[in-house]
Structure 1
């Protein structure tokens, strides 16, 4: 009997995925919420894991620090229901509809969800209601004026446990951008239609997406279908469409210092968005001047960029502009001297206490494990690699200084790495340190005794 149940269990995930291929909302986004590959995760495990709130089934109950937000989820859900005319009957209707989306939801997660049907529907209903209520509380006044306010549950931002604390709110927004911490967008839209049918109509199908982009301060766009929050933000960010996909490689062969030695002037260009976690892809090179929109590096920059890259690497047929952008930056920075030059020119704006060496490590590892990129900067890199407008005699001192700095950094890295191995493997405690010191002293005394004996 158990064997029969196991066989039907593994076959069920296959049937779920096949059955969702023709689903109107899901057919283009089967397995749209995958686990990040181990080769991408290796560089920074924490960049893909939520810190405050879990969304969806993948991280539910995995750590104690995520449980603190569960109570607030329930309170947000209650507040959302009290915006409707009949909360009890509305909840019953929403539960029935969400339960009917079980196969489509499982297909979005690749069909490998450990929760049974009713528990998964509960997660979708709770997390979807939480997200929708948060969107409504943060919505601009003129976007959804028809939806009534809920005064009985302390909607004021000062008493709100999330909106009343800026750092917590920003951390939660960051958790919403993690690839593994998403929920299917069609669940959110379904809930909105069920709760407020007069507002979220078929003519206003874009309204949930508008609320989401407004929450993150991203430009509003019109797109036919969306997989989840991260996908929507990706669509709102990319500049060039239809770029050719190819194998990932570092196309820029000259770092910032070498470009300066070749006569290239690196200059920042003002970007159109004032949003901190916004990446300016409009990089241009003309008449010896390389113009780059400034990149504000804050605590969340790495998380955003890594998860955008992970999304691009998990799909076929989408733009990989974030990946190409990160590879271009990696080529631009090969030493601390390059970081200093870019900071001095305003291309890199450090909004945190991060050091130049940490920045070098960040951009040196952020593309490790990527397989594909597009040709967004192929022509740009080709022109930069070939450009030369400086006399070799003027170029030589800059390159020599750069090579010396690289040698010093390599020696420093080797010494630091060797020291860590020594401490970790050979001197794990103070007694072993004393033993090594005594042994070294005895060895020195033995050598001295041998030397003086030979002379005598």
Structure 2
């Protein structure tokens, strides 16, 4: 089998071969690559059923990494010059920049099949152009990791020459780095992790020794505010953060469904006390999933809603729905939150007790839309909260007048919100499809007036 795979890898494509065969040969040639065999198609395009609910959450705003979004807007092109500066700075850390660059170029070019298989979709660039993208973006990311490294994390790091702050706007302006980090968490904005490790080994062999995998991973986790943890092999930045966040490995994967039948208000009416759990600030990204139900009290870690929260959560979910064999805990967590919220009254309750922490100016209506759409298009989940939801669904204290009053008020508000929602949707459809300009507005008004007059004429004719 190994000999057959090597034949696929070594065979050169000719112009006479059918184009549709190339992707097949690329995938077959990558099956024996130790860095790729478990992560083929790990940087997949986000499915349209997920993307359509918030397309902006999956598209970079300042920085493009990899071939998928390269050159799609002038804003993204503006960052290319700065990536070249970072690449030059990284090469200046080496003893022989020109020779090191040549060695990196040959190594990355030899990974062409593995890189293409990692994206799992058609890449329009030829081998040399794709290698150029991997080399530039890989050097940029590696230099960014080195500059943001905490003191003492990187031993024997060579200094670079010509370190002028004017050439490095990413670290020179505090408002730039959050946008860059957010763009680096997008599923479609990744490069394979083995590209970074290869460049690190070649360019800085005295710094990245036999612990290259762990050091590059720890630098990445530090950059995004995660604690250093031993992680299994990962495909890219987003996959690394995902592996460092989950707490329930090996849960049974099943078809996605809404397991929590009662929202926050109905749980309170059933006698359940909802309480915000105190979490360790240094490990908040992992402890957010640790939801417990003990003695009638539901302990929920605070869910911080910030400007980038939706982007992070949607891309983690997109990753889980794209790769087979990884935990689906973000998807299950989002489905649990979705079950807690069915009206603005639930939002008000969760905010008042500190379960939802709004770190930005966002309305309850926007939060309701966020929770209502975050799990649409999700096909798979795991059993992380199955037992918890079963206990919450069956729990019930004694019936009291207070419980009846809470439920009546809740259902009335929920019905009112549903009516307002459908009226707004109908109004948007009317404006978009039937009244896009003043002439169509006049036509619609005339048609309504004509309909009313015809109805009145029919009525009076029938009674005359």
Q: Establish whether TM, by shorter chain, passes 0.5.
A: yes
C-alpha RMSD over aligned residues: 2.4
Question: Which residues of 2 match residues 83-102 of structure 1 at below 5 A?
Answer: 83-102=93-112
262-271 or 273-282, which deviates more: 273-282
Instruction: Determine which of 289, 297, 307 is the counterpart of 1:299.
Output: 307
| Matched-pair contact (CA < 8 Å) for 1:56–1:123 | yes
Aligned-residue offset at 1:8: 4.2
Tell me how far apart the structure 1 counterparts of residues 462 and 47 of structure 2 sit (CA, whole Å).
Answer: 63
Instruction: Determine which of 31, 39, 43 is the counterpart of 1:33.
Output: 43
Q: Residue 28 and residue 454 in structure 1: after superposition, are their counterparts in 2 closer, same or farther (change >3 A)?
A: closer
Instruction: Determine which of 175, 182, 187 is the counterpart of 2:190.
Output: 182
Instruction: Determine which of 224, 230, 234 is the counterpart of 2:242.
Output: 234
| Matched-pair contact (CA < 8 Å) for 2:320–2:327 | yes
194-203 or 371-380, which deviates more: 194-203
Tell me how far apart the structure 2 counterparts of residues 203 and 117 of structure 1 sit (CA, whole Å).
Answer: 30
| Matched-pair contact (CA < 8 Å) for 1:48–1:179 | yes
Aligned-residue offset at 1:410: 1.5
| 1:416 is aligned to 2:440 | no
Partner of residue 398, structure 1: 406
SS across alignment from 2:19: helix
Q: Residue 455 and residue 236 in structure 1: after superposition, are their counterparts in 2 closer, same or farther (change >3 A)?
A: closer
Structure 2: tracts of 5 or more residues without a match: 1-12
Aligned-residue offset at 1:280: 0.4
| 1:120 is aligned to 2:136 | no
Q: Residue 279 and residue 412 in structure 1: after superposition, are their counterparts in 2 closer, same or farther (change >3 A)?
A: farther
Deviations 1:265-296 (A, max 9, x none): 11101222368877700000011111111011
Partner of residue 317, structure 1: 325
SS across alignment from 1:123: helix
| Matched-pair contact (CA < 8 Å) for 1:283–1:290 | yes
Tell me how far apart the structure 1 counterparts of residues 181 and 310 of structure 2 sit (CA, whole Å).
Answer: 14
Tell me how far apart the structure 2 counterparts of residues 442 and 109 of structure 1 sit (CA, whole Å).
Answer: 58
Q: Residue 453 and residue 7 in structure 1: after superposition, are their counterparts in 2 closer, same or farther (change >3 A)?
A: closer
Tell me how far apart the structure 1 counterparts of residues 461 and 24 of structure 2 sit (CA, whole Å).
Answer: 82
Tell me how far apart the structure 1 counterparts of residues 454 and 116 of structure 2 sit (CA, whole Å).
Answer: 72
| Matched-pair contact (CA < 8 Å) for 1:277–1:296 | no
| Matched-pair contact (CA < 8 Å) for 2:45–2:121 | no
283-292 or 5-14, which deviates more: 5-14
TM norm structure 1: 0.93
| Matched-pair contact (CA < 8 Å) for 1:264–1:288 | yes
Partner of residue 75, structure 2: 65
Deviations 1:207-249 (A, max 9, x none): 0001000000112111241100000000100011111111110
| Matched-pair contact (CA < 8 Å) for 2:93–2:161 | no
SS across alignment from 1:257: helix
Q: Residue 358 and residue 278 in structure 1: after superposition, are their counterparts in 2 closer, same or farther (change >3 A)?
A: farther
Deviations 1:394-434 (A, max 9, x none): 31111111110011111111221222222223322234435
Tell me how far apart the structure 2 counterparts of residues 370 and 448 of structure 1 sit (CA, whole Å).
Answer: 51
Partner of residue 208, structure 1: 216
Aligned-residue offset at 1:20: 1.4
446-455 or 58-67, which deviates more: 446-455
Q: Residue 88 and residue 150 in structure 1: after superposition, are their counterparts in 2 closer, same or farther (change >3 A)?
A: same
Q: Residue 428 and residue 197 in structure 1: after superposition, are their counterparts in 2 closer, same or farther (change >3 A)?
A: same
SS across alignment from 2:171: coil
Aligned-residue offset at 1:203: 3.5
Aligned-residue offset at 1:392: 3.8
